[in-house]
Amino acid sequence: MTMWLRIREWVRKLFGIRPEMGDNELQRAEMDAMRYFDIQKENITAIVASSISTLAFGDADATVVAENETVTDSPRLELLGNVLKDEMFSAKRNIAAALGVGMIATIPYSVDAGMGRKIYTATVTKDRFYITGMQGDDITSCVVIADMMQMEKDTYFRWTDYAVENGVYIIRNKATKNGDEIPLTSVDRWAQIEPEIRIAGVDRLPIGIFRCPTANRRPDDVAGVPITFGCDATLDKIAKTLADIETEFERKKAKVFVDRSLIKTDYDENGNAIKNDFSDSLYVKFENNDKMAVDIFDPALRESSYYTKLLQHFAFLEKEIGVSRGILTDSESKNATATEIRRAMYQTFCLLDDVHGEFERYMNGLMYGVNVLCNFYGLDVETPYKIKYDWSYALLEDTQSTFNQMMQALSVGAERPAEVRMFLHPDEDLEEAQAVIDEIKQQSLLAAELIGQSANDTEPED
């Protein structure tokens, strides 16, 4: 029985439910994950996913603030902020996996193993995430392979079922050994996990789900597809061209047009022949001492032709994905103005904008789940919060032009000095920027007074 069929059967036996995804979707999820995780050969999907994720989060930031902006100090806000900070630190890696595989789910959980109760998160790709309930476009329940381990010849899985039923968040944990259910206490690191938790007062599944924005070419879009979905023909051409390049270099190695028997063989002190440093591929083999003429000797490499073909495949793949030149090919910046370069990158920017929008939904769901667990376990007093996202527009934005526009707005009273300072110092919020400006003004006034006093002291008496 194939892996995805076994998973479907295990989920049914453990929780009495079946994944919404059909056999083809389960099989596709496994294949998508295997393609992205493959490290044995050139992985174009991983390269594209990593490049887009780096562009999306290269200069991005997100912070947790109180809904009531007068609240500046709250232990709950600090806890949520620390979780968000960790997630932003991992965003490039996690979202690259989401783009490469098609979807990830990040699930908050809480344990106390002697260090005090803390909130953690676990991220799984779609080959370990099985949707079991839907309401419209909303996922209402899912089963996740939360952990796995191999001990000698035995395979252990920890399965977790997450569901929302009538405003109650239900978490059920189960374990299997080689497909057969066992108690959670059978594995030491799972022994402290509660078999079932029920949390009232939720209005949606409190986990973060990120779907790659690539269209799956069908009306429904439940599981998400990889960034290179539908590009298999081009990926195969790229793989073949890369193999042809290696073959070309291998065949164009230098040859010695003599029989191997003419090469002197050295012997060691025991009379054993020492293998010559020359590789067998250096020699032309002569059969039965027949004379052999070399009709064609063409050591020239055709690398320019092969690389031209490869770049054409790269450029076509960029078009299929929906990005501008510069992801796999060199950007068209020669003799181009700054405005032309920004226009050329607009298609990539549009994809990044989709990634940012999907990430905001993903992070809002995750932080909602963290807050739900904080309330359930009584971790600090609840403080209504919101998340502020600061995305980079470096692909389209000319910072000098933007700064000039801000200075013009400042001169006519349409911009505050603190907002101009925030543009120069993105790590400061409005209050911090205003405080620095006030301090600079005070120092300037003090300096002016000192200069005035010095001038008065040096004036000559009549």
CB 119 within 8 A of CB 373: yes
Are 374 and 79 spatial neighbours (Cβ–Cβ below 8 Å)?
yes
12 and 137 housed in the same domain: yes
b/e 48-83 (16+ beta carbons within 10 angstroms → b): bbbbbbebbbeebebbbbbeeeeeeebebbebbbeb
Torsion of Cα atoms, 396 then 400 then 406 then 411, to 10°: -150
Contact 88, 333 (CB under 8 A): no
Domain membership of residue 113 (yes or no) is: yes
* pLDDT in the model for residue 26: 83
Asked whether residue 205 falls in the same domain as residue 245, the answer is no
Q: Are the beta carbons of 62 and 388 closer than 8 angstroms?
A: yes
Specify the pLDDT at position 267.
63
Residue 382 inside a domain? The answer is: no
Is residue 238 located within the same domain as residue 217? no
The verdict on 14 and 159 lying in the same domain is yes
CA distance 100 to 46: 6
Closest to 393 (Cα-Cα) out of 425, 362, 430, 356: 356
Q: Which residues contact 441 (CB under 8 A, 6 or more apart)?
A: none
Question: Quick count: other Cβ atoms within 10 Å of Cβ 264?
Answer: 5
373 phi/psi in degrees, rounded to 5: -65, -35
In a domain, residue 328? The reply is: yes
Distance of CA 36 to the CA centre of its chain: 12
Token couple for 240: 């073949």
pLDDT digits (tens, 9 = 90+) for 138-155: 899 999 998 888 888 899
Residues 6+ apart with CB under 8 A from 104: 94, 95, 97, 98, 123, 124, 125, 126, 129, 209, 210
Please classify residue 98 by burial: count the beta carbons closer than 10 Å to its beta carbon, then call 0-12 exposed, 13-18 middle and 19+ buried. Answer: buried
Residues 31 and 73 in one domain: yes
Residue 147's alpha-carbon distances to 19, 35, 276, 404, in angstroms, are 19, 21, 53, 53
Residue at 31 is within a domain:
yes
Decide if 392 is inside a domain.
no
| Number of domains within the chain | 3
Low-confidence ranges of the chain (pLDDT < 50): 1, 281-283
Residue indicated by tokens 């600061």: 390
Give the domain extent around 242: 232-341
Please state whether 210 falls in left (phi above 0), alpha (psi between -120 and 50) or beta: beta
Separation of alpha carbons 143 and 170, rounded Å: 12
Element (H, E) at 341: helix 338-344
Nearest to 30 by CA among 159, 152, 126, 132: 126
Task: Please write down the long-range contacts of 256-259, taking CB distance under 8 Å and 24 or more positions apart.
Answer: 256/282, 256/283, 256/284, 257/284, 257/294, 258/283, 258/284, 259/283, 259/284, 259/285, 259/286, 259/289
- The answer to whether residues 181 and 300 belong to one domain is no
Give the model's pLDDT for residue 36: 94
Both 177 and 251 in one domain: the answer is no
Q: Are 199 and 214 members of one domain? A: yes
Cβ atoms of 198 and 169 within 8 Å: the answer is yes
Task: Identify whether the C-beta of residue 199 lies closer than 8 Å to the C-beta of residue 361.
Answer: no
Which of residues 301, 321, 341 is at a domain's end? 341
Please state, in angstroms and as integers, the Cα–Cα distance from residue 297 to each residue in 150, 203, 282, 379, following that order. Answer: 56, 75, 14, 78
Q: Are 361 and 418 in the same domain?
A: no
> Looking at the structure, do residues 423 and 359 belong to the same domain, yes or no?
no
> For residue 375, is it within any domain?
no
Number of H helices, E strands in the chain: 12, 13
Q: What is the pLDDT of residue 315?
A: 94
201 and 281 housed in the same domain: no
159 near 182, Cβ under 8 Å?
no
Question: Are 111 and 191 in a shared domain?
Answer: yes
385 within a domain of the structure (yes/no): no
Within 8 A by CB and 6+ apart from 49, the residues are 36, 96, 97, 99, 100, 226, 227
Q: How many CA atoms lie within 13 A of 63 on its CB side?
A: 9
Domain assignment present for residue 381? The answer is no
Whether the Cβ atoms of residue 11 and residue 17 lie closer than 8 Å to each other: yes
